[in-house]
Amino acid sequence: MRHSISFYKMVASGNDFVVVDNRRGIVKDAVAFTRKVCQPHQGVGADGVLLFESSKKANFRMRILNLDGSEAAACGNGFRCIALYAHDVLKYSSRMNFESGSGLIEAQVGQKNSVKVQLVKPRVFELDAVIEIRKHKLHYMFLDTGVPHVVIFVKDLEKAEVFEAGRAIRNHSHFQPFGTNVNFVEVRGKKEIAVRTYERGVENETLACGTGSTAAAVVSVLKGSVEAPVKVLTRGGESLQIDMQMTGAEITKVFLEGQAQFVYKGEYLQ
């Protein structure tokens, strides 16, 4: 008889995930499982896998693996999905904390599937730098909101070469050996930006990226282009809200809020 693994398909702002309760270690080889289950035609199809595991330091531990099998330290949209899963399926309190590769994450599940998470303190590496890509010089910012992100401001987001330029920057020698995610940002107002993201691990543009939206909002605030809280319009058409606390010119806390949804429950046959 073939072995089956129960899972939930979840989505947040266009990022979709396969969520598995792995407290009993039912996923033996997380990399192989992820590569198979995330395939759009031969598997379930998803941007990544979220594994719910036990923790001695917090309510639980979350692991996230990208569709190529690489493990990510953080995923803002994944954080919101796992928090809703913990609350609605496993009956955890609406307020919780959990371990991630980037550190301890605080989460609160609100009404209508809205989830607010406090991410790790952002670390800014380069606030105004220049990189040459395909004989063009681009001004960029480089920071870490749990995972590394490059932020580039553009005047017309629809014309941005997200895949071509994003892939070139992601693989540029300056960001090796781990590479970086790349966000193209258009300022839409004093409290609103729009973002398109090329994600490493997925190696393509995704419909949304929580840590990328956060990075874009943080840089926009630091440069004085917008004021917090910041509304972030994603490629998938949904909006996220990024709020932050500051001490002087330093951002000390940052919060990501938006809706997460269950799509369906299933059994994956091994």
- In the chain, % of residues over pLDDT 70: 100
Q: How is 188-247 classified by DSSP, letter by letter?
A: EETTEEEEEEEETTTTEEES--HHHHHHHHHHHHHTTS--SSEEEE-TTS-EEEEEEEEE
pLDDT digits over 106-131, tens only? 999 999 999 999 999 999 999 899 99
**Mean pLDDT score, 85-111:** 97
Q: Catalytic: which of 11, 27, 182, 209?
A: 209
Residue 122: cis peptide before it, omega within 30 degrees of 0: no
Give the pairing type, strands 230-233 and 239-247: antiparallel
- Is residue 81 annotated as part of the catalytic site, yes or no? no
Q: Catalytic: which of 18, 20, 75, 115?
A: 75
Of the candidates 52, 48, 2, which has an alpha carbon nearest to the alpha carbon of residue 27? 52
What pLDDT, on the 0 to 100 scale, is given for residue 134?
81
Single-letter amino acid, residue 184: F
Judged against a pLDDT cut of 80, whether residue 2 lies above it is answered with no
98 pLDDT tier (thresholds 50, 70, 90): very high
- Please state, in angstroms and rounded to a whole number, the distance separating the CA atoms of residues 213 and 57: 28
Q: Judge whether 65 and 93 are in contact, CB under 8 Å.
A: no
Count the Cβ atoms, other than its own, within 10 Å of residue 47: 25
pLDDT digits over 206-236, tens only? 999 999 999 999 999 999 999 999 999 999 8
Domains of the chain, first to last:
4-117+260-269 (3.10.310.10), 123-258 (3.10.310.10)
Structure tokens at 166: 């994003």
**Mean pLDDT score, 7-27:** 96
**Mean pLDDT score, 192-205:** 96
| Residues with Cβ within 8 Å of residue 250, at least 6 apart in sequence | none
Of the candidates 103, 83, 114, 173, which has an alpha carbon nearest to the alpha carbon of residue 144? 103
What pLDDT, on the 0 to 100 scale, is given for residue 250?
87
What pLDDT, on the 0 to 100 scale, is given for residue 1?
58
Helix axes 210-222, 76-88, angle to 10 degrees: 130
Judged against a pLDDT cut of 90, whether residue 248 lies above it is answered with no
- What global pTM score does this model have? 0.92
- In the chain, % of residues over pLDDT 90: 93
Instruction: Specify whether the backbone of 129 is left (phi greater than 0), alpha (psi in -120 to 50) or beta.
Output: beta
Judged against a pLDDT cut of 90, whether residue 152 lies above it is answered with yes
C-alpha 79: how far from chain center: 8
- Please state, in angstroms and rounded to a whole number, the distance separating the CA atoms of residues 94 and 86: 9
Residue 229: cis peptide before it, omega within 30 degrees of 0: yes
Judged against a pLDDT cut of 80, whether residue 27 lies above it is answered with yes
User: In degrees rounded to 5, what are phi and psi of residue 87?
Assistant: -75, -50
Q: How is 147-167 classified by DSSP, letter by letter?
A: SEEEEEE-S-GGG--HHHHHH
**Mean pLDDT score, 6-21:** 96
